[in-house]
Structure 1
Amino acid sequence: MAPKPLQDNVSRRKEASPVGKAIFIGLRAVDIWWQHRLLARGWATKALTTFGGQSIPVTQIVTSATLTGLQPYYSLVSLLSVGSSIKQIATMMFVSEQETPVASAIAIAAFNSIFNSVNTLLSVWAVTSQAPSSGSSSLRDFPQFLLANPLIAIGAGAYLVGIVTEAVSEFQRTAFKKIPANKGKPYGGGLFSLATNINYGGYTIWRTGYALVTGGVPLAVLTFSFFFYDFAVRGVPVLDEYLMTRYGEAYEVIKSRVKYRLIPGIY
């Protein structure tokens, strides 16, 4: 019996899809509002207590001392969701060439919002929250806050490295494709010279950093394992097959030159 074909979660067909893209952009923008309300309005706390969970004291969450109306830790949690939405909206607007059916737009946006919401909920759950037990509520003390909480600083750093890597690599590839002389050629330069699917690796890293900030090491390990496994056994092979079919020997040359597939130094 032939092995079951691996599922590709995105379409490789190039089409404008204005309705699908508009829906995706709208839903990712709404997620910024949603994640902030979960914290600022106490919705995350209410959800936890409804299901018998113990939240950290609300007084540790809500404060008017920062632009977000939250103390530094929860300002950071909120900003992580903001960054994820901005990055994905920018990608949809300026990078994506593939068709985006309405159903796919809703599913992908919902997947990211659910992941963000889980992170937000765990950031207020007493069992998993990384919120400092005490500290300044002033945004001016944010650098000191990070220095005093190295696990949060590491998570924020991983998030920044990952999301910048994903964004820069994709914009580098887009710039390459816009040059007429490169039409019909695969791209293996820039950050893609470090790993053939480094944008997937960047996504895995920033999701892991996000999880480390909100839920600590166990959630970070679980998140990394989930995305790394999915990309390694499904995402990368599916894309490799597509690129080999589209570009043939030219892509084979890139694969032979670039040692890693997902994350430099790991895989």
Structure 2
Amino acid sequence: MAPPDDKHKKKQFDLINRGVKRSTPLGTASFIGMRLADIPWQYHLLHNGAAERALAAVGLSTLAATTTATTTTGIDLPDKLGLPLPRLLLLAMAAGSSAKQIFWLTYLSAEEFPVSAAVPVGLFNTAVNSLNSILIAGAATSSLAAGSSGPRLSLLLGQDSSYGDLPLSLLAGALLYAAGITIETLSEYQRLRFKRAARNQGKVCKVGLWRWARHVNYFGYALWRGGYAMVGCGWVGGLLMGLWMGWDLSSRAVSVLDEYCSKRYGEQWVQFKKEVPYRIIPGVY
């Protein structure tokens, strides 16, 4: 049976108009505003029982008050926020992801980003971050739940020694987040430097982390999203988020970019796929 004509193939959904490079001030301003506004919003959810009230509104039980005891770090700003360590980590992750995405839009990316793209991307990030901020307070969903499985860390934080019993998933999630943000940002910066060199005009980027996988920045994104969820919801929540992000990127985003790069680079892209056989996860997939 003959393969379907390319004109009749289902086009994958993509908010970014690949290859169209122009300034979009309104879209840029909208996205920056939304990402910056997400930080105080997450603090609101994590502080003074806002997450607990959200869960109670839908009939879900919350953790005991002892799991929300504030942490004394000896550092002025974190201590003034009045958050326990797990919630402080979630707030830091929200701020870090906002900073990374603003850096991407204003420095690393030259493609247009209109309001029609900025708003849904901004809303998606706020929605996922908010879900983590709320679920960390749930008796059945939090990584801190007494019945959660897995090893725990014995740490003495502040003056409340009972607060030192923290799940290992907290550390694992923080490490995955840091690794993912680093991989995503570094790979995109390496690609920018490569393309800015006059000798590389019209060439496929094959330097640095791009020798590991053809879409290695997506690997970084899935890692930090999974790590973020792991801090909020434990091993299961982190794994589910990482798998969902990986599935979406591999089934949708990779197809969009493969089609775009095939048209732009031709035989170069065919050769690149031979040299770097892994799509997203180096050495695995």
User: Do both proteins adopt the same fold according to a TM-score greater than 0.5, normalized to the shorter chain?
Assistant: yes
Task: Give deviations 1:155-202, integer Å, cap 9, x for gaps.
Answer: 111111111100100011111111122122221211111000011111
1:50 match: 57
Q: Counterparts of 1:245 and 1:45 in 2: how far apart (Å)?
A: 51
Q: How does 1:1-267 map to 2 (within 5 A)?
A: 2-12=8-18, 13-58=20-65, 60-61=67-68, 63=70, 65-66=72-73, 67=78, 68-131=81-144, 136-138=156-158, 149-267=167-285
Moved more, 91-100 or 247-256: 247-256
Q: Counterparts of 1:123 and 1:81 in 2: how far apart (Å)?
A: 14
Q: CA deviation at 1:104?
A: 0.9
Is the Cα contact below 8 Å between 2:177 and 2:227 reproduced in 1? yes
Structure 2: gaps spanning 5 or more residues? 147-153
The ranges of structure 1 where at least 4 consecutive aligned residues each deviate by more than 4 angstroms after the TM superposition are 132-137
Max Rg structure: 2
Q: Counterparts of 1:59 and 1:149 in 2: how far apart (Å)?
A: 15
Q: CA deviation at 1:221?
A: 2.5
Task: Give deviations 1:114-141, integer Å, cap 9, x for gaps.
Answer: 01111111111111111376964539x9
Q: Counterparts of 1:117 and 1:218 in 2: how far apart (Å)?
A: 18
- Number of aligned residues: 263
Moved more, 57-66 or 237-246: 57-66
Identity percentage of aligned residues: 38
SS of equivalent to 1:124: coil
| Residues 58 and 21 of structure 1, relative CA distance in 2, 3 Å threshold | farther
SS of equivalent to 1:222: helix
2:149 match: none
Is the Cα contact below 8 Å between 2:70 and 2:85 reproduced in 1? no
Is the Cα contact below 8 Å between 2:135 and 2:141 reproduced in 1? yes
Structure 1: gaps spanning 5 or more residues? none
SS of equivalent to 2:39: helix
Normalising by structure 2, we get a TM-score of: 0.86
Q: Counterparts of 1:16 and 1:37 in 2: how far apart (Å)?
A: 33
Q: Counterparts of 2:25 and 2:13 in 1: how far apart (Å)?
A: 24
Is the Cα contact below 8 Å between 1:209 and 1:220 reproduced in 2? yes
